[in-house]
A and B are shown apart, each in its own frame.
Chain A
Amino acid sequence: MSRVTEEEIRSLGELSRLALSDSEVETLKRDLESILEHMDALAEVDTTGVQPMTHVLGTIGHLRSDEVCESLAVEEVFAASPERTEDCFDVPAILPPGSNK
């Protein structure tokens, strides 16, 4: 059953922010289709009234108290950053709202 179109793969790529070559699109389409076929098995399980498990073992989590710890030094913050300007992360312009690219 072919249910993943090339267009869908490209749109998933955009949503995931992944540049994909044509051959990658082709491979991904094939692989996702075959993986999704295996996923179909789940449809046969009767899950009526079954709670979705969002946290394993009903984990009881803890909270932290509102205490301040020392911040990372600015040099540590930027140690690995690809581009830095005036102690800010420098990125290509975020399009001003309203303008189309």
Chain B
Amino acid sequence: MSAMLSNEKWEAVIGLEVHVQLATKSKAFSASAVQYGAAPNSLTDPTVLALPGSLPVFNEEGLRLAMRLGLALGCTIAKHSRFARKHYFYPDQPAGYQISQYDEPICAGGSVPILEDGVRKEIALTRIHLENDAGKNNHAGARSLVDLNRAGVALCEVVSEPVLRSATEAADYMRSLRQIVRFLGVSEGDMEKGHLRCDANVSIRPRGREAFGTRTELKNINSFKFVQQAIEHEIARQIRALEAGETIVQETRLWDADAGRSRSMRGKEEALDYRYFPDPDLPPLEVSDATIEQIRSELPELPLDARARLIALGLAAADAEQLSSERRLLAYYDATLASLGKSNAKLAANWVSGALLAELGRLGKSIGDSPLEPARLAGLLKLIADDTISGKIAKGILARMMESPDEAKDIVEREGLGQITDSSALEAIVDELLDNNPKQVQGYREGNQKLLGFFVGQVMKATGGKANPKMVNQLLRARLDT
């Protein structure tokens, strides 16, 4: 593809605007419920419908969540911010204006971390501001049908600096942001439900040049895949145009996922003039230092910080990444480790991300409602660590612990599942085995080393899996190799 070759000559400059739906129960400025998939126009109130005489009053939880996100991303929180009205007529915009923070947003600066070849890189933010969502238009031939359930839902818009340099980086940024908002509980971050919606500003310039090229705005890219595809497509389109001697027109382009291409929206909104002015219904938001510090003190560890900590404990990068991918999973792991001790970090990692998640998956449960608590899992893992039971036995016990409140220790004791570490007992079994299988003994001694596995298997079978494998190996070698 020529665009690929040309990439050595051209550099892309990308900035993202991501709308994040805040996890509030009620709307940004009124009390009707926020809920996905409800019957059309069943979640409204006078303010959402912009009935005459209704007024907006801002939801304090929306403010708290935006500040929480801002503080987690290292933004400066404005102690004084305010809402403006952004005017445009559209049937999904009941008041004829959107309420949005314009010249005084709640958060400035900050950054979203991403991983580039395993190394952390900070993507600088311009700002984060609060606003309300519009309703939904369903197009039906010559008519449009408007559902206002979503109108008035609280959003924050996270605006990056134009510092992203590739479609992959942009998609990584979006993934990281999603993970962070979910970690913080700022948003449910469900892409399917449109909780994160992205617009991208894309331009290209010859490598080495500082001045930006003319940019286009891509709208409607609402999945990681589309972010990647749409931006890749747009970079290629711009390179083709410039190499063909054309100029880039500053315009808004709509990504058509089905067609796999973007279309110009030019001509549609040529007379856009939003006529912003401070919303007189909404006094400025005043935030005290004490409130900021309170929210800061409640911040959890963020995914990439947790990942680094886990790697320092000796975990493989992939395990560290998985365990830090979700807040409750990480919390579970950390709680397990707290009971078990850090020296068994890897053991705990294997079991939490392996057997436990598999078992939960089988039961259709998530980590947050695991019937097996971290402390009991740690009890089980301790028995593995001190060789009381084998991993195989442990798996069976784990499955049973999902369905009973018993401690692993008690199950093992009650049912005699502890490993046979008494060498005299094992010796007797080994001796009997060798006596009964002279052919295999002969074969081994003639050089068929693989037969060792056969003997180990037979011992394990005879002991119901309770024999300590290491000890069995030692005993067998001692007998066979002499």
List residues of chain B with CB within 8 A of the CB of A71. 32-33, 42-45
Do residues A68 and B139 form an inter-chain contact, with CB atoms below 8 A? Answer: no
Q: Which residues of B lie under 8 Å from residue A91 when comparing CB positions? A: 91, 143-146
In this complex, the interface size class of chain B, counting residues with CB under 8 Å from chain A, is 35 or more
Interface residues of B in 382-435 (CB under 8 A from A): none
Instruction: Across the A-B interface, give the 3 residue pairs with the lowest CB-CB distance, nearest first.
Output: A61-B283, A88-B145, A66-B61
Q: List 11 A-B contacts (CB under 8 A).
A: A11-B271, A55-B278, A63-B58, A66-B25, A67-B26, A71-B33, A77-B41, A87-B42, A89-B41, A89-B146, A92-B144
**B128-161 Cβ-contact flags toward A at 8 Å (1 or 0):** 0000000001111111111110000000000000
* Interface hits, A1-60 → B, CB 8 Å: 11, 14-15, 17, 54-55, 59-60
Question: Chain B residues with Cβ under 8 A from A65's Cβ?
Answer: 59-61
From B59, B141, B254, A66 is in contact (CB under 8 Å) with B59
The reply on B268 being an interface residue by CB < 8 A is yes
Would you call B46 an interface residue if the criterion is a C-beta within 8 Å of the partner chain's C-beta atoms? yes
Proximity string of chain A (81-93) to chain B, C-beta cutoff 8 Å, 1 when within and 0 when not: 0000111111111
What residues make up the interface of B, taking CB atoms closer than 8 Å to A? 24-26, 31-33, 39-46, 49, 57-63, 82, 89-91, 137-148, 254, 263-268, 271, 273, 275, 278, 280, 282-286
Cross-interface CB contact of A87 among B25, B41, B140, B143, cutoff 8 Å:
B41
- Are the CB atoms of B24 and A66 closer together than 8 Å? yes
Contact A67 B273 (CB under 8 A): no
6 A-B pairs besides A77-B44, A94-B139 with CB distance below 8 A are: A14-B271, A61-B283, A85-B145, A88-B40, A93-B139, A93-B144
Q: How far is the CB of B292 from chain A (nearest CB, A)?
A: 16
- Kindly report which residue of chain A lies nearest to residue B62, judged by CB atoms: A66
Q: Is the Cβ of B144 less than 8 Å from the Cβ of A98? A: no
Binding site for B on A (CB under 8 A): 11, 14-15, 17, 54-55, 59-69, 71-72, 74, 77-78, 85-100
User: Do A94 and B90 have beta carbons less than 8 Å apart?
Assistant: yes
The residue in A59, A64, A91 that gathers the most chain B C-beta atoms within 10 A of its C-beta is: A64
Q: A71-B42, A86-B40 are in contact. Are A63 and B143 (CB under 8 A)?
A: no
A60–B282 Cα distance when bound, in Å, is 10
Please indicate the chain A residues that have their CB under 8 angstroms from the CB of B283 in the complex: 55, 59-61
Closest to A91 in B: B91
| Bound-state Cα–Cα, A55 to B478, Å | 90
CB distance from A15 to the nearest CB of B (A): 6
Complex alpha-carbon distance, A64 and B63, angstroms: 11
Looking at the assembled complex, report how far the CB atom of B219 sits from the nearest CB atom of chain A, in whole angstroms. 8
